[in-house]
A and B are shown apart, each in its own frame.
Chain A
Amino acid sequence: MERETPAIIGVGRTKFGERFEEDPEDLIDEAGLMALDSAGIERRDLDACYISDYFLQLTNKIGIEEGFMSQLLEMHIPIEKVRSFSSALFNACHSIEAGKYDLVLVGGVEKMTDRLDKIRDDLMLLEDPWSYYAGCTPESNHELMLREYIKKYGITGDSLERLKVALAYISVKNHRNAVKNVYAHFRREIDLNRVLKARESAHKPLGLYDFAPISDGASAIILASPRVAKEYTDTPIYILGSALSTDYITYPSREDRAGFLATRIAMEKALKMAKVDIKDIHLAELYDQSTVLEMISLEDLGFSRRGRAWLDLAESFRNFDDFEGFYDLDGHILYVNTNGGLKADGNPLGATGGAQVYEVFKQLRGEADGVKVEFDGDLLYGCVQEVEGFGTKVYVHILGRD
């Protein structure tokens, strides 16, 4: 089948974690070179670059990232900086679809540990100043969303306990997945008790192991026009669907607070654009900034029915010793965050989406060296959800192979 959408022909990434010895440009250099190498092209072949970082301006006082990129590449091609990897990919797709470029480097980088002492204030202020003024923390909205969820669906008593355990298992599962991911921030297993103990000792509904860490890292891919993709590889991975939706900056002012409206809209658009049935998607890299978000995103994306994801998860995790690595969502097999997710792979904001795309790319090509997607059928599609802020911008990309 002749595809007419932009395609990924190479990917690269760095290890995520505390990269105290490297500057942001060192990290993007590392990921970029790997992607060029993987695609088998020279940097001189690039027509343009889209790079992303959430807030290098704040963390590293880097104002014009494009200049650093130009100097690294020693090229004078168009370079644009955006806020998330998915945003860079979304915009790169547009430019290729417009017929402007054939080969584009899409990259992302973040250096959060350079400002560890002030990072939570920065994250919260950027998420929403008015919530920050009222005392919100980066964790609070996730906990409020959990409250809104359990109240909306009337989850109490034993059900609530099961939900809490299911959330904890999400973290256990993601940690287990990351063990085999050589680039992951955390490559160690944790047990259920550890997740629950962390909540208990903090006297909080969600604890340390319910949240993604603060990470450094970079990621990059080479995006090619459908016209030239096959010149470089026999197995390009196509961007079949690419969608963005936005929502109000202040979470409390949104109408439905038991999920992200932006995720629902973006997924709907992406599926329509990709002409893919959600039933045919068996791999999703979700934005699990918290265990709550992995659970609720399953609903917002349409994999679970609304108000039912917790039950689907509880069933999937019923005998965790026998857990086969995928969720059974009312009969629908779905692998989620095979790279360990944001929780264990790490969450260097601007680079996070690149690691998600990297994972789906590798899985679709059957080249994954970590957890492998295995089920009775062909893995044709993968879905990537990335979020900016707290559901303020949500990107969904649907990737597919021939």
Chain B
Amino acid sequence: MSSGPIERRVSYIGDRLKGSRCTICGREYFRVRKYCGTCGRKSFGKIEDIDFFYEKGVLESCTVVRNPTNKFRKLGSYIYGIVSFHDGKVRVPGRLTDRILRSDEDVDPSDFEGREVVPRFRRRYSVGPSEIIPTISLAFTFADEYYPYQKYEIVKPKKEYETPGIVGYGVYVSRFRIKEGTIERSVPFLDEDAITAAVEAGKLALIHSGVDQSLIGKIYVGSESNPYAVNPIASKVAQVLKLGEEERDERVQGIDAVDTEFACKAATSMFKDAAALVYYPKTPTEYAIVIGADNSQAAPRGEPGGELDFFVGFGGSAFIFGMRDVIAELEGWYSCSSDTPDFWRRDLEPYPRHGGRFTGGPAYFKHIVKAGRKLMEKMNLTPGDIDYFICHQPNPVWPMRAAKSLGFKPEQYLPGMQVSKFGNTYSGSSPIGLASVLDIAKPYERIMIVSYGSGAGSDAYSFLVTSQIEEKRSRQRFNVRYQVENRYIEYIDYATYRRFKEGL
């Protein structure tokens, strides 16, 4: 059973936890309705839309599910209960996610009840491989654990810039990690995928930027692991985050949404397009958002393509571009590409293949070094003029070698190295490096980022940090470091990692 219309209606309400409020008596409802039961007829036309997407709830009562219904079977044991919002004005059913419960572990509900929870956008339950992927935000995590509650507040911009650039960004990696040797990698929980990571990253970027969601005119989502072969991630993200002007009656968002694909440079490729778009004078687009999110799959070790299994991570990043309250101006760019098949996945194949040593010299290094050199040449820069250098991070060794051959020193390239914490996050890889540098950069510092996408190509950008970077920093608790050093990180074994990757 898979009904497009039902899925459309359920996720329209459930992804965002939409509800209604009576403006006469203040009564609230989960799910949209036209009148208030208390005020009756006089409330027609006096009901306003609300939603609980950015709200904090309380887990009021809970129990443990050991024997789920068929569609939840892969989740094993989980906590299910009643979540209230706004001091009990609204109560919804919900399950706790991002939590591994052993089947023989006794659960005392009072350990959980009364604690604050944050709604999380996740896959709803398992469906067959040909069906529409159901999603919902009736999944919750505790506000005092890995993922903090953060308010989304729209901040009126103060300053107009002449050069477009980044006005806000967000990074999302999951709570679960696998540690092998010196490398840690982020692993999605069972109900996470590239779609949920894209939404999380976008949500965090909105929170950080303070940008009015309705002013975003375009969204690009780059991914090589969209769980659909056909069907965009971007339209889902735009709807869940209510990007662009909302046309409520038709339930559409006034935004151009598009997915891009070019292995690990699917997102960085669009930085220049986003910047150019917000600069275009004739049809104003206030902001554009570029998201890179991946839950890339890797064959089991020992099988063809299994070498990717040592480094594959999970996560997403989002960057909002605009002309106001810019934190890093986009100074210049250079891109190059060639038909170099060093990593690929044919349609209907579950795992990508990898070109072994061929993916190194003639692919990764050639394009990154070319793009980096060329950009410095064009902009009359030397490595000494650049404070931070970031490049694509498929493993911990190559980015250092690439950086060195471009003439960069460890203090320039180490701050942006995140691969040994999160693994290779593909489309999110070099952008997460960029974010970790923006987390610490000082005004007027220069950042150079060079992405790499197999197949193959590189995008090189130069950003100049502005004075506004510091004041915005306080709006984002959930920065890269927070996700690296978080005490709620849960390390899992290899078998669990493979099971989680498999998903619902």
Contacts and interface: CB of A to CB of B under 8 A. Distances in A.
Contacts of B87: none
B66 A135 contact: no
Interface string B256-300: 000000000000000000000000000000000000000000000
A136 B96 CA distance: 11
B92 A135 contact: no
B105 interface: yes
Interface string A113-136: 000011011001000111111111
B82 A144 contact: yes
B493 interface: no
Given A135-B95, A253-B91, A204 B69 contact: no
A257 B138 CA distance: 20
A121 B62 CA distance: 20
Contact of B80 (A134, A148, A257): A134
B61 interface: yes
B332 to A, nearest CB: 48
B70 interface: yes
Given A147-B63, A203-B103, A252-B92, A120 B80 contact: no
Given A252-B93, A253-B92, A144 B81 contact: yes
Interface residues on chain B, size class: 35 or more
A121 B71 contact: yes
A250 interface: yes
The 8 closest A-B pairs by CB, nearest first: A135-B95, A143-B63, A134-B93, A134-B138, A252-B82, A131-B93, A252-B91, A121-B69
A151 interface: yes
A98 interface: no
B104 interface: yes
B452 interface: no
B136 interface: yes
Nearest to B13: A130
B57 to A, nearest CB: 11
Interface in B46-67: 61-67
B35 to A, nearest CB: 16
B304 interface: no
A203 B113 CA distance: 18
Contacts, number: 97
Contacts of B93: 128, 130-131, 134-136, 250-252
A117 B73 CA distance: 13
A41 to B, nearest CB: 44
B78 interface: yes
A137 interface: yes
B78 A135 contact: yes
A140 B63 contact: yes
B73 to A, nearest CB: 10
Contact of A144 (B63, B92, B104): B63
B30 A253 contact: yes
A205 interface: yes
Nearest to A123: B69
A320 to B, nearest CB: 27
Contacts of B71: 121
A129 B31 CA distance: 13
B142 to A, nearest CB: 16
B124 interface: yes
Contacts of A143: 63
Given A144-B62, A204-B64, A118 B72 contact: no
24 contacts: A130-B31, A132-B69, A133-B124, A133-B134, A133-B138, A134-B92, A134-B136, A134-B138, A135-B68, A135-B80, A135-B95, A137-B68, A137-B69, A140-B65, A140-B80, A144-B61, A144-B63, A147-B109, A148-B61, A202-B66, A204-B63, A204-B64, A250-B93, A252-B92
B105 A203 contact: yes
A135 B134 CA distance: 13
Contacts of A132: 69
A127 to B, nearest CB: 11
Contacts of A257: 61, 82
A100 B61 CA distance: 49
B75 A203 contact: no
Contacts of B68: 135, 137
Given A121-B70, A144-B81, A203-B103, A135 B62 contact: no
Contacts of A137: 65, 67-69, 72, 80
A7 B302 CA distance: 76
B107 interface: yes
B82 A135 contact: no
B414 interface: no
B440 to A, nearest CB: 40
A133 B69 contact: no
B212 to A, nearest CB: 30
B94 interface: yes
A342 B222 CA distance: 55
Contacts of A203: 64, 66, 103-107
A147 B95 contact: no
Contacts of B109: 147
B10 interface: yes
Nearest to B68: A137
A124 B66 contact: no
Contacts of A148: 61
B14 interface: yes
B70 A118 contact: yes
Contacts of B75: 135
B152 to A, nearest CB: 23
Residue among A131, A136, A143 with the most chain B CB within 10 A?
Answer: A136
Contact of A134 (B90, B94, B104): B94
Contacts of B72: 135, 137
Interface string B452-496: 000000000000000000000000000000000000000000000
Nearest to A117: B70
